[in-house]
Amino acid sequence: MSSSPQTTSTNSAYLTNQFAHRFVRALNNLNHTKTSSHGHNQISRRTSRVKIAAYTAMASVVGSRRAWSRAVLWKIRKRSRIRSLLLRMNRKRVDHKIFNCHHHSKVMSLKRRNPNPKRQYYFNPFRNSSQESKLRKLVPGAQTMDSWCLMGETADYIKCLAAQGNNRKEVQ
Amino acid sequence: MQKENIFTNEGNGIPQAWNSIFGIGIQGNEGNGIPSLEWESNCVINSIDQRDIFESSLTSIISSPANSGTGIPNSGSRDNIILKELIGRLGSICNSSDISHITTSSCYNTPLNSPQKVVNMSITDHNIHGNGNHQFPLAKYSSLVGKNDYNNGMESGKLSRVSTETGIKGHGNNNNININNNGRKRKEVAKGKGNGKETQSSSTLFAKDDKVVAEVEKEESDAKRSKSNDGKKSNEKSTEPPKDYIHVRARRGQATDSHSLAERVRREKISERMKFLQDLVPGCNKVTGKAVMLDEIINYVQSLQRQVEMFRPQVVVPNNVDPFDTSVHSFPYAFHSQINSMILDRPENQFSMNPLVAAMHRNSTVKPSHIDGFGEASTLWENDLQSVVKMALGGQDQPQDFHGQMKVEL
């Protein structure tokens, strides 16, 4: 990896700081924008929103440098895009069938083309490939990577997750 | 007997001399007795530094076999003899120079160096067959070179090239750095192909940076190996930019076709990354093996994700629960749930969030811009955030209790 141990330590401090900053800002935005009614589904929605805020904060700190952060941000933006689209559709009160068709087409257009199709002909060094598939599911954006990139992304992801976890620990 | 040539041609005097000595003809710079030595097996010498030493030793090597092998036709036995002598001389050079570099010298050196099988076993065997005129420290040499094992236990009767070299130059580290940095497979360039074809089915590998790798080739199935090596040469990724390829070496007992070499490179890279991950994941130092390591990594990632999402569910439940907290399932202590409850239940939560915002703004100004102060800034930030959390949780009247309750169990 590129960062030396010294830069990693300062990186982690910087990361945790940035995480905290952005996460709190996201929570603040969340609180200001949403004023819907209360209910249990609202709780779950809030939970998911806070979770999204956490991931967004983490990914935005890293930015476009790593593939996993790009994947996280891309997913979140796609979701927000679809949501806004749905809202627009709802407001226009389009017919249900047309609405579904439009939704589907929009979703398909938003779907990202697979830039790196998984290469099948490479020798798989992991005999037990189920672990690797598990890892791919865990790390965002790692579905279409080869093993070497997957390991690199996992390393960076672990680093950022640990930094954010430490951040929470210190906060509380 | 056909030997193989591995050249890393830098255009400087020594490799060309070496090549010329052993491959094509002798127009060596040495000019003593060498022209008579025509040798099918070619050695590639890694000449990074100490070229003078190399030259001198090279001349000594060449001269001594040349004396004995003058006028010898290229026959198999003679090649054995010459080869043995050369190896002996190389061994002496290795002994004289920094021996430790030999261990690190393999251009294929990775952190996960498996103990090198005796690469020179073939050499010793080979040389035993030859005449025993010269007593060379072959065993020692083989043990020296045999420290770096590229074989992943797949040794077979098939012999491949033996890399002896970088130790000679004493700059194996350079090799390692280059290889680890490049991370790509460096294969022959078109130049090598021509030379290889010339020198009687000897294959040459060129590295574009200043490296000449000395290898002594032993072949038991010469025709097959030469063909495969030629095939490998011709299968070069010649489209790769010259500076961007790794020097790949076929290990003893391993297949030398491009696919297996590529796979080996890939495997080495991945194991390198696995080692890095092992350092990242706590408590994985004693774990050996990829499968267990992978399991540990997966568990660790899952637990971290759960932490991030759930705000560390293993927290101590505070004694005094926030009266406004209606979310039963959430831990009243958790920041997340508190914020949730605040957001949901109290319209004046917006006001309570404002001090949070205010604290944020306040803190952001305090935060220094340079990296050094980030540690302090983070502590400042977190202290402030902690105070904000206390405020948000419903009152300044319980800061101490809150602080006492703020224990995280993990």
For every residue of B349-400, DSSP letters joined together read: HHHHHHHHHHHHHHHHHHS-SSGGGHHHHHHHHHHHHHHHHHHHTT-TT-HH
B280·A155 Cβ contact <8 A:
yes
Q: What is the pLDDT of residue A37?
A: 56
Q: Is B216 helix (H, G, I), strand (E, B) or coil?
A: strand
B316 touches chain A (CB under 8 A): no
Of A32, A58, A161, the CB nearest to B350: A32
Q: Residues of A with CB below 8 A from B327's CB?
A: 43
Q: What is the pLDDT of residue B89?
A: 65
Q: What is the pLDDT of residue A93?
A: 61
Percent of chain B, pLDDT > 90? 0
B324 touches chain A (CB under 8 A): no
A165·B353 Cβ contact <8 A:
no
pLDDT in tens, B297-350: 888 888 888 877 776 544 333 333 344 433 333 443 344 444 444 444 444 444
B298·A38 Cβ contact <8 A:
no
A159·B408 Cβ contact <8 A:
no
Give the residue with greater pLDDT, A154 vs B397: A154
Structure tokens at B248: 């790949």
Q: What is the pLDDT of residue B357?
A: 46
Q: Quote the distance between the C-alpha of residue B66 and its chain's center.
A: 38
On whether ipTM exceeds 0.90, the answer is no
Q: Show which of residues 121-160 on chain B sit within 8 Å of chain A, judged by CB atoms.
A: none
Q: Residues of A with CB below 8 A from B343's CB?
A: 30-31, 34, 46
Mean pLDDT of A86-93: 79
Q: What are phi and psi of B216, to 5 degrees?
A: -115, 125
Mean pLDDT of A53-70: 80
A168·B307 Cβ contact <8 A:
yes
Of A13, A148, A157, the CB nearest to B374: A13
Query: How far does the CA of residue A64 sit from the closest CA of chain B (Å)?
Result: 20
Q: What is the pLDDT of residue B384?
A: 53
Closest to A138 measured CA to CA, from B304, B289, B271, B269 = B304
Can you tell me the distance from the alpha carbon of B381 to that of B367, in angstroms, rounded to the nearest whole number? 8
Mean pLDDT of A89-104: 65
Q: What is the pLDDT of residue A38?
A: 60
B312·A172 Cβ contact <8 A:
yes
- How sure is the predictor about A109, in pLDDT bands with cuts at 50, 70 and 90? low
Residue B378: CA count within 13 A, CB half-sphere: 25
Q: Look up the pTM and report it.
A: 0.41
| Cβ pair B152, B255 in contact under 8 A | no
- How sure is the predictor about A139, in pLDDT bands with cuts at 50, 70 and 90? confident
| Cβ pair B43, B216 in contact under 8 A | yes
Terminal CA-CA length for chain B: 67
The yes-or-no verdict on residue B287 having pLDDT over 50 is: yes
Can you tell me the distance from the alpha carbon of B286 to that of B383, in angstroms, rounded to the nearest whole number? 37
Mean pLDDT of A91-108: 61
Of B269, B297, B375, the CB nearest to A148: B269
Give the residue with greater pLDDT, B217 vs A94: A94
B385 touches chain A (CB under 8 A): yes
Q: What is the pLDDT of residue B140?
A: 46
Query: Minimal Cα distance from B383: which residue of A?
Result: A171
Of B267, B406, B408, the CB nearest to A125: B267
